[in-house]
Structure 1
C-alpha cells in the first residue's frame, strides 16, 4: 500500500538483492577488516578476561574473612589461599585480616588497570574497523557505474555510509566487551560455584537452559525486524536528502505542507518498524531478568535454610559454611546481570549483522563496466574519435537508447549533437567517457578501443562542462583547481581569465578565497558555469565535452561564456550538445539524433538546405512556428508524450 506522496512501502529494500547474497557478514567483517587491529583487540580481550577475573576475587576473600577470621575455619584451607605456600600465610587473626584487606584493595587497583587497557583495546579496534569500512565502502561506491546511482537514492547510500557503519561501532566496542564479560563471568562463576558447593551450584544455575532457549527464540524473531529497520532508515534519509536538495523548489511552489506530509509518512513507517523491534526487546529483557532472578531467589532460599538448620534440605547433604553461602549470594547476584545482559549482546549483534549485510551488499555490487587494472594508458595523438555501429540500452531488457550510431571525428574538429529531448544525445557522450559501456559496436580514440585502455587515463584526457555546473563546498580557487590539485595560483588565475571569470571573481568579497557555499549556491548560474569552464581550461584536456554549457544563462552571459568556449575548443577535438542551435552553427559537423539514431548530418548550411528535422528545429528557435509542417508538430507531440511517460515511470521506480 502506498502512503500519500507516492511512497510505496511494499517495494523491496533497494539493497535486498545484494543483502541476500552476503554470507556470514560478521565473520567477514572481523576477518577482512579486524586483522590490522589484532594487537589492540587482543589487548582488549586479555585485559577484559583478567579484569573480570579480578572482579570475582572480592567475594571469595569475603568468604575467607567470614569463615576463617571471624569464624572457626582454618585460614590456610580457604579456597583463594590454597595456591599459596602455608609458610607465607600469617598466623594471627589480625595479620590475616590485613592480608585479606590488602588482597581486596589490590584486586580493585589491578582491576582498574585492566579495565583501562580493556577500554583502550576495544575502542581502538572498533574505531579502526569503522574507519576502514566507511572509507572502503565509499571508495567502492564512487567507482560503481552511473547505472547504480540511477537506481539508488542518495539518502539510501548515505544511510549505509553513516548509520549502518556507525551501527558497527556499538557491537565492536560495547558488544564484544559485554560478550567477553558475560563469558568470563558465567564460566568463572560457574566454576567457582561448583568448586565451593556443587549441590547448591545446580540450584543457582537451574535457569540457564531456560535462558538459552528463550534467547534463541528472541534472535529468530528480532533478526528480520532489524533488517526492516535498517531499510526504513534509508528511506527516511532519502526523503530528507531529496527535500533539502530541492528546498528552493519547495519554497517557490508553496508546497511545505505537502512535503511535511511526505516526511511524516516515511517517518511514521520508520516509527512503526522500529517500534515493532523495540516492543519485542522490552518484552524480552524484563522476562529474561525475571528468569535470571529465579536463580538468585532459589539460591537464597535453599542456601539460607541450609545454613539456618545446619543440614542440607531434601536431597542435599553435608554442611554449608556462612562465608560460602554469602559468596554464593554475591556470585548469583553477579550472575543475574550478565545473564540478563546476554539479550543486549544478541540485540547489538543482530543490529550489527543487519548493517553488515547492507554494507557488504553494497561492496559486492558489480557494475556493467569491466575494469582491467593492467590495461595500458590511452595515448591521444591526433584526437580522432570513431563511433562504429554503437548500440546501447540502460536495461538489457529494454529497447535500445542508442541504435547503430556511426560517425568519425577528425582531431581538432568540433562536432555538435542536436535533436529533441530524449533523442540520446547525452548518452552518446556518456559512452565516450565510459560512464556506461556500449552493448554493441565500439568507440575508438586514435584507433584505441576505449574499453581496452585504463579508465583513469581515458577520463584524464577528457574535459567535461555540463549544463548543471556542480561546485563543491569550498573556495573559488579550490573549485577551479579540482582535478588539477598541483596547480599554483598563477595557473588558476590564467585559467579563470581564459574562461572570462577573472573579473567577477575579483569582485567577490574574498576574491579567489571566497567560499562558494553548498553546491556553489552563492554564485549565479553563469558564474558557476564559467568556474566550471575555468576548471576545464586548467585541466587542458585532449578532448572536450560540452553538454549544454550555456543553456541556463541570459543572452549577455551566454555571449561571454561562448567566447570562453571558442578559445577553449580551438585546435581541440570537441563534442557539444546544444538546444540553442545558434551556439553550434559554426561546428565542423552537426549530427541530428532522433529516437537514438542519427537521422541527419552535415554543416549548418547543408542541414538548413536539406529542410529536415534540423531545419525545423532552427525554425522553432527563429520564431517561424507558423511555417512548420504539420507532420513535424505531430511528431513533436508524440515525442513529448513518450518523454512524459518515461519520466512518470522513473518516478514510480
Structure 2
C-alpha cells in the first residue's frame, strides 16, 4: 500500500476558498434566533464592566473630599445626584462612599451572572445548531464526496472545528465586550478627570493597534494549517483503530506507531509555529501596554509630588485623581494585553468557520428536487438506457449499458473484479447519478422522482454488512422503526438469523458492539438481510449478500432469498456463480460494458467469459484458454494500480 502524503494541502482547501465572511455568516445565520440571550450577555457585560469602574472613582472622592480639602458634592461621580441626597458630615460621607462601593460590587455580581448566562447560552445554542446542520448536510452529500475524504477529516470538522467556535462565541465575545467597555469607559473617565494626563496614559494605543494588525496577518494562515493538521491526525487514528485487527494479525504495531508519530509530529510542528508567534506577541503587547502605566505613574507622581505641572502641562492634579489614574491605567493594561487573545480566538474561529461553511456549501452531482413527485411502483419494471458513468474526470466506469428487467424478475450481474457491477446498482439507488443515459422504474426516470421515495422502495444488502452500535433488534428495524416484535422475528427467520439470535446472551436485545464486532461476518450479513426483508421493498438489491457465510448457511439463506424474491424485482451480484444460476437473466460485465447476457445454460453454451468464470469456480483451471488468463492478469494489474492511486 502506498503511503498517504500527509504533507498535502488541507483536504477542505477547495471548499474554503469559496467561503466569504464566515464569521458574519455564522452570527447572522445561526445567531439570529438567539438574539435574546446574546443581548442579555452584551448588555449585562456593559453594565458589569461599567460598575467595575465605579469603585476607583469613589475612592478618588474619598481621598480628595473626605481626607482632603475638595468639595464632596463637586466630585465627578456625584455631580449627577441632587445635593440634598448627599451627606454633609465626614462620617456620613464616608458611610455614603462605603455603601456605594459595596453596592457597585453587589450589583456588578448580578450583571456578571447574567453576562455569563447570556454568552454561554448563545454559544452552546449556536454550537449545537451548527454541528447538527453540518452533519445533516454531510450525510446528504454524494458518495463521491465521501470517496475523496477520510472519516477522521470529517470528524475533525464536526468535532474540533465546531468546538472551536464555542470558545470565541463565549470567551472571545465576552472579552471583546469587556475590552471595548473598559477601553472606551476608562478613556472617557481619564479625559473627564484630566485630559492632559489621559493623553499620556493612552499613548500606547496606536502602537498596540499596529502590533496587532501585524500579528493578525501572520497568524491567520498558520491557524488554517493547524486545523488541517488536526484533521490528518484524526484520520490516521480513526483509520488505525478501525483496522486494529489487521494491525495485530500483521504484527505491524511498530510500523503504525511510526506513522502516527509522523502525523503527530507534523501537527506538533504546525501548531508550534502558531504558538511561537503567540508567545512572542503577547509579552510584547503587555510590554507596550505597561509603558502607559509607567508614563502615567512618572508624570502624575511628579505632578502631585511637586505641586506644579511638568513640562507643557498646566493646572493642578489632586492626589485622589492621581490614584484613580493609576488604578484605571492598571485596569487598562490587562484588557489591552488581552486584545491579542481576542484576536487569537477570532482567527481560530474564523479558520474553523471556513472549513464548516466550506463543507456546508459543497454541491454534489446529484440534483435534489424537493418538489419532485414520489415514485409509484406498480410492476417494478426497471430499464437502463445507454447509461454511462465515470468518477470525476477519470476513465469511464460504466460504458453505454442498456438492459430491461420485467417486474418480478431476478437479474444477476457477474463479471471480474472491477467490472462495474456494484456501480451499476448504486446508480439505481442514485448513490451516484448517470453522466449520460437514463434509468427508469415503471417508466419513471429516477431523476424525476423524490430521492426519499426512490430509496424507500429499494432494499439494499451490500458486500459490507454494516451494523450500528446497539441491539440486534435495533439493527434489524433500522429504517423500519415502527415494526412489531412479531414482524422482526419473521424477518429474522426469513434471513435464517432467528436461531442464532435466540442463542445470543440477551436474544434480540443483545448489544452487537461497534460495527457489529461481537457478531461473526455471517451473522452480521444475516442481520443485514433481515433488515432488508423487514423493509419489504419493491425492488431488492443484493450485492454479494452471502459473501461472508459458509456454504451450509449460504444454502439456507439462498432458500429464504428465493422465497423473498417471488413477485419482486431483484438484482443480485455474486462471485459464487452457483448462487445465481437460476436467475431469469444474467448480465456479464467486463470493463464497465455488458459483454454477454442470457440464462445460465445459454451462457455456458456460448463458451464466453461467463463459461470461463464458471470453469474457474469448478476447478477446471487447466482447460481455460490462455487469452482469458492474460486478460485476467491485465485486469488485476489495473485494479492494483487503481488501489495504489486511491491510497
Q: TM-score range by the shorter chain?
A: over 0.9
| Alpha-carbon shift at residue 5 of structure 1 (Å) | 7.4
What residue is the counterpart of 1:333 in the other structure? Answer: 330
Taking the TM superposition and a 5 Å limit, the aligned residue runs for 1:156-167 are 156-167=153-164
What residue is the counterpart of 2:632 in the other structure? Answer: 636
| Alpha-carbon shift at residue 7 of structure 1 (Å) | 3.7
What residue is the counterpart of 1:552 in the other structure? Answer: 548
Contact 1:5 1:261 in 2 (8 A): no
Taking the TM superposition and a 5 Å limit, the aligned residue runs for 1:232-381 are 232-381=229-378
| Alpha-carbon shift at residue 494 of structure 1 (Å) | 1.4
Contact 2:525 2:548 in 1 (8 A): no
Count how many residue pairs are aligned between Structure 1 and Structure 2. Answer: 647
SS at match of 1:406: strand
C-alpha distance in structure 1 between counterparts of 2:241 and 2:412, whole Å: 36
C-alpha distance in structure 2 between counterparts of 1:568 and 1:310, whole Å: 103
Contact 1:413 1:571 in 2 (8 A): yes
C-alpha distance in structure 2 between counterparts of 1:196 and 1:562, whole Å: 92
CA shift digits 1:83-127 (9 cap, x unpaired):
000111111110010000000000000000000000000000000
C-alpha distance in structure 2 between counterparts of 1:117 and 1:498, whole Å: 60
Compared CA separation, residues 116 and 516, structure 1 to 2 (3 A): same
Contact 2:6 2:232 in 1 (8 A): no
Contact 1:215 1:343 in 2 (8 A): yes
What residue is the counterpart of 1:18 in the other structure? Answer: 15
Say which of 414, 438, 442 aligns to 1:446: 442
| Alpha-carbon shift at residue 565 of structure 1 (Å) | 1.5
Taking the TM superposition and a 5 Å limit, the aligned residue runs for 1:570-649 are 570-649=566-645
What residue is the counterpart of 2:427 in the other structure? Answer: 431
Verify: 1:139 aligned to 2:136, yes or no: yes
What residue is the counterpart of 1:224 in the other structure? Answer: 221
Taking the TM superposition and a 5 Å limit, the aligned residue runs for 1:168-187 are 168-187=165-184
C-alpha distance in structure 2 between counterparts of 1:398 and 1:518, whole Å: 35
C-alpha distance in structure 2 between counterparts of 1:581 and 1:496, whole Å: 25
C-alpha distance in structure 1 between counterparts of 2:6 and 2:599, whole Å: 52
Contact 2:19 2:357 in 1 (8 A): yes
**TM-score if structure 1 supplies the norm length?**
0.98
SS at match of 1:114: helix
Contact 1:292 1:336 in 2 (8 A): yes
CA shift digits 1:240-286 (9 cap, x unpaired):
00000000000000000000000000000000000000000000000
What residue is the counterpart of 2:34 in the other structure? Answer: 37
| Alpha-carbon shift at residue 10 of structure 1 (Å) | 3.7
| Alpha-carbon shift at residue 497 of structure 1 (Å) | 1.4
Contact 2:389 2:399 in 1 (8 A): yes
C-alpha distance in structure 2 between counterparts of 1:332 and 1:399, whole Å: 69
CA shift digits 1:162-201 (9 cap, x unpaired):
0000000000000000000000000000000000000000
Contact 1:415 1:589 in 2 (8 A): yes
Verify: 1:155 aligned to 2:149, yes or no: no
C-alpha distance in structure 2 between counterparts of 1:341 and 1:444, whole Å: 63
Taking the TM superposition and a 5 Å limit, the aligned residue runs for 1:402-413 are 402-413=398-409
C-alpha distance in structure 2 between counterparts of 1:398 and 1:166, whole Å: 37
Contact 1:5 1:262 in 2 (8 A): no
Q: CA-atom RMSD, angstroms?
A: 0.9
CA shift digits 1:375-417 (9 cap, x unpaired):
000000000000001001012x322111110000000000000
CA shift digits 1:287-312 (9 cap, x unpaired):
10010000000000000010000011
C-alpha distance in structure 1 between counterparts of 2:633 and 2:6, whole Å: 35
CA shift digits 1:448-473 (9 cap, x unpaired):
00000000000000000112110000
SS at match of 2:594: strand
Verify: 1:59 aligned to 2:56, yes or no: yes
C-alpha distance in structure 1 between counterparts of 2:30 and 2:175, whole Å: 21
What residue is the counterpart of 1:389 in the other structure? Answer: 386
SS at match of 1:188: helix
Contact 1:429 1:545 in 2 (8 A): yes
Compared CA separation, residues 615 and 7, structure 1 to 2 (3 A): closer
CA shift digits 1:56-104 (9 cap, x unpaired):
0000000000000111100000000000001111111100100000000
SS at match of 1:296: helix
Contact 1:18 1:362 in 2 (8 A): yes
What residue is the counterpart of 2:119 in the other structure? Answer: 122
Compared CA separation, residues 7 and 592, structure 1 to 2 (3 A): closer
Give structure 1 stretches of 5+ with no counterpart.
Answer: none
C-alpha distance in structure 1 between counterparts of 2:190 and 2:431, whole Å: 67
SS at match of 1:491: helix
C-alpha distance in structure 1 between counterparts of 2:205 and 2:61, whole Å: 28
CA shift digits 1:355-378 (9 cap, x unpaired):
000000000000000000000000
C-alpha distance in structure 2 between counterparts of 1:109 and 1:149, whole Å: 55
C-alpha distance in structure 2 between counterparts of 1:205 and 1:282, whole Å: 24
Contact 2:2 2:644 in 1 (8 A): no
| Alpha-carbon shift at residue 503 of structure 1 (Å) | 1.0
Taking the TM superposition and a 5 Å limit, the aligned residue runs for 1:35-114 are 35-114=32-111
Taking the TM superposition and a 5 Å limit, the aligned residue runs for 1:517-536 are 517-536=513-532
What residue is the counterpart of 1:490 in the other structure? Answer: 486
CA shift digits 1:482-513 (9 cap, x unpaired):
00011121211111111111111111100111
Contact 1:146 1:435 in 2 (8 A): yes
C-alpha distance in structure 2 between counterparts of 1:487 and 1:47, whole Å: 52
Give structure 2 stretches of 5+ with no counterpart.
Answer: none
**TM-score if structure 2 supplies the norm length?**
0.99
C-alpha distance in structure 1 between counterparts of 2:2 and 2:370, whole Å: 45
